[in-house]
Amino acid sequence: MTGEALLTVDGLVTKFDAADGVVHAINGVSFDIRPGETLGVVGESGSGKSVTMMSLLGLIPSSVGRIAAGTARYRATSGEVDLLKLSERQFGRIRGREIGMVFQDPISSLNPVMTVGRQIAESLQRHLGLGRRESRSRAIEMLARVGIADPSHRVDDYPHEFSGGMRQRVMIAIALAAGPRLMIADEPTTALDVTVQAQIMALVRELQAESELAVIWVSHDLGVVAGLADRVLVMYGGTIVESAGVDDLFENPQHPYTRGLLASIPGTGLAGSRLASIPGTPPSLQHELKLCPFADRCSHAIDRCARERPGLTPISADHSSACFWDIDASRQRDGVAVIAQREGM
Amino acid sequence: MSSLTDSVAPAARSAVPNPLARIARNYYLRRVAQSIALMFGVIIIVFMLVRLTGDPASLMVAREADAEQIAEIREIYGFDKPVVEQLTTYLGDVVTGDLGRSFLYRDSTLELIVSRFPDTLILAATALAFALIIAVPLGVAGGSNPGRPIDKLARFVGVLGQVTPSFWLIMLLIVYVGVKWGLLPTNGVGTWKHLVLPAFALSVGAMGQFVRLTRSAVLEVRNEDFVRTARSKGLARRAVARRHITRNALLSLVSVVGVQFTYMLGGSIYIESIYARPGLGQLLDAAVRARDFPLVQAITIFIAGFTIIMNLVTDVLYGLLDPRIRHGG
């Protein structure tokens, strides 16, 4: 987990063109991930987790959205590329081959009229140039690797013949078939029940132990991320508000939003006590973000938060927060970067 | 030893299957059984309808026939017997391939139908081919490029095809392509040239429907999650379009193709009469005009039977193409 980053995202901005104006979905997201590392990305719906991942793989349809700024340097086997500037054709050698993706709903994410074996084989034929027979036996191997029993028979089955958890294993087999070094999993266990969720998480850990596979695991479930990630990004309003090692984040959260999230996990309070929640609603992303996105829901907000937008600033080694206020010391933090200001202030 | 028989017994019991239960489990057998039952239902209804309209004997004779002649007809055709007896006799005849004798042609109705049907079948099959060859590529191209000129063309063809009456179009084609420009024959059968105008006229309705259906199916499938998965595998745009989008989109076309094909048999009545093609449609037209009620009845049953078989073929085809139907109990 040491050494050079596999992927370095810097200042990603993604916008959508809606009927009633521009939606500023991603407002400057920067992070990196090293080989073999597991990066958890948490945040509520609409915080920009999925859009960030789709942006990195060029899966935002050009008819609805565009990447307005940023770089995403990926160390591919053939040399470094900027994912945000690739053509559709160039992406063909990245998707599946370098970066595999697993989606949330395994039944709708698999082609219903194609056997799982062929869906795995497609990737092998495309990226490794394997023939029909070779790719089929490799597909059987992949099914065995992701823990499907009797893979040589199951390879000819269709997605509807598998259970939810088995389908997600098939999705992982598809994503990893051509041997990518990064797997992006977008809420892969959200549609599964808890025991199956644990099995899938265990499987991913096993697969990571076999190779230097880096994993970006997107979830709105802090519990899942706590059990899996090395490092965690907390997203809010299309920005990263806090980034820290997993233990550090849970023991010493710095951003008021992260604290709110942790406080609202059921089971941490007394039995029968009211569930904690964060008052207010997520921010509208209709305007360019020039103030702290969390300011109007934050109990620690000061005047400055409504005028200036704090940048993600290091607090200690490998722990950053985007907040002007130091909650523990009850005073403004020094040296917080200001990355935007409202005009006329 | 006893433990062995104990363990074998339950398996042996389930291995002696109730044949009905086995038919119910197998999708194809179930559909065949349903079709046979339906065919009998159709024959009974056609048989009863004729009797509901009054004395069939009076339908079969000239208007000026006297009571004696009618009574004679009644006896010849067995109309004086109880209805249930007539029905069982008729069902027996149908099962053995006897659909009655034509009044007009003084010949076996089945032989008449069999001699005329190939022409109609070729016409309808050619029309279906025209419709598919034009509609599928146009629908796929339109659905893949929403809002572009090709999509506007697809939508235009879709609506135009569905609102154009084929009997009007065939007359227009005869007048312009046949008479004024002299490019193709104006009537009759013979060469492939005789097939072009009537088949095209017969195809436009289906063509319109196919274009619209293909287009909307492609539009829908494009946004499916599995298409995103296919793209995330790094497949080329073409491969995604062909293997994942088009294949799934065309599934919804299968059932409609079968239905349209049987509609075309009905549509051939006008086209064949206008273009003077001696097919089944023209035979039916002549039979109705001449009040040849055994022939009308035979053609009705024949077309109904053909429709049922087409539906069966469609369902079997569907089962082969969509594994979810094949396995879904």
pLDDT digits (tens, 9 = 90+) for A164-195: 889 999 999 999 999 999 999 999 988 888 88
In the numeric block, the tokens 């509901």 are attached to: B52
Across the range B230-235, mean pLDDT stands at: 93
- CA-CA distance, B218 to B142, in Å (whole number)? 9
Residues composing chain A? 345
B residues 238-267 lying closer than 8 A (beta carbon) to A:
239, 243-244, 247-248, 251
Interface residues of A toward B, Cβ cutoff 8 Å, are 57, 59, 88, 91-97, 100-101, 103, 105, 108-114, 119, 122-123, 126-127, 158, 160-161, 171, 174-175, 178
The CA distance from B173 to the nearest CA of chain A, in Å, is: 42
Across the range B235-247, mean pLDDT stands at: 92
Q: Do A111 and B251 touch (CB under 8 A)?
A: no
**Contact yes or no for A47/A237 (Cβ under 8 A):** yes
Above pLDDT 90, what percent of chain A?
60
Across the range A97-119, mean pLDDT stands at: 93
Annotation: CATH topology of B110-290: MetI-like fold (1.10.3720)
Contacts of A57 in chain B (CB under 8 A): 232
pLDDT of residue B14: 46
The CA distance from A114 to the nearest CA of chain B, in Å, is: 9
**Contact yes or no for A44/A85 (Cβ under 8 A):** no
| Torsion angle, alpha carbons of A336, A342, A344, A345, to 10 | -40
Q: Name the pLDDT band for B54 (thresholds 50, 70, 90).
A: low
pLDDT of residue B328: 59
Nearest Cβ partner for B323 among A105, A113, A171: A113
pLDDT of residue A140: 96
- Give the up-direction half-sphere exposure of residue A6: CA atoms within 13 A in the CB hemisphere: 22
Contacts of B235 in chain A (CB under 8 A): 92, 96, 122-123, 126
The complex's ipTM works out to: 0.88
The average confidence (pLDDT) of chain A is 90
**What is the enclosing helix (H) or strand (E) of B106?**
none
Q: Name the pLDDT band for B23 (thresholds 50, 70, 90).
A: low
**Contact yes or no for A156/A117 (Cβ under 8 A):** yes
DSSP codes of every residue in B70-99: HHHHHHHHTTTS-HHHHHHHHHHHHHTT--
3-class secondary-structure state, position A79: strand
- Residue A271 in this model has a pLDDT that exceeds 80: no
Hey, where are the domains in chain A? Answer: 107-179
A4: left (phi over 0), alpha (psi -120 to 50) or beta: beta
- CA-CA distance, B78 to B318, in Å (whole number)? 44
The CA distance from A307 to the nearest CA of chain B, in Å, is: 40
**B166 burial class (0-12, 13-18, 19+ CB within 10 angstroms)?**
buried
- Residue B226 in this model has a pLDDT that exceeds 80: yes
pLDDT of residue A82: 95
Higher pLDDT, A229 or B77: A229
The CA distance from A343 to the nearest CA of chain B, in Å, is: 39
Q: Do B225 and A57 touch (CB under 8 A)?
A: no
Identify the residue among A94, A113, A158 best suited for mutation to test binding to B, counting B beta carbons within 10 A and taking the highest. Answer: A113
B231 contacts chain A (CB < 8 A): yes
- CA-CA distance, A99 to B271, in Å (whole number)? 59
Hey, where are the domains in chain B? Answer: 9-95, 110-290
- CA-CA distance, A35 to A26, in Å (whole number)? 25
pLDDT of residue A344: 58
Reference A86, options A106, A71, A107; nearest CA is A71
**A292 burial class (0-12, 13-18, 19+ CB within 10 angstroms)?**
buried
3-class secondary-structure state, position B152: helix
Q: Centre a 10 Å sphere on the Cβ of residue A141 and count the other Cβ atoms it contains.
A: 15
Strand-pair category, A182-186 with A99-102 = parallel
Residue burial A51-87, b: 16+ Cβ < 10 Å; e: rest: bbbbbbbbbbeeeebebeebebbbbbeeeebebbebe
pLDDT of residue B6: 40
Q: Name the pLDDT band for A317 (thresholds 50, 70, 90).
A: confident
Q: Do A113 and B236 touch (CB under 8 A)?
A: no
Across the range B292-303, mean pLDDT stands at: 87
**Contact yes or no for A67/A60 (Cβ under 8 A):** yes
**What is the enclosing helix (H) or strand (E) of B209?**
helix B193-222
pLDDT in tens, B173-201: 999 998 889 888 888 888 888 999 999 99
Contacts of B321 in chain A (CB under 8 A): 113
Strand-pair category, A21-33 with A79-82 = unpaired
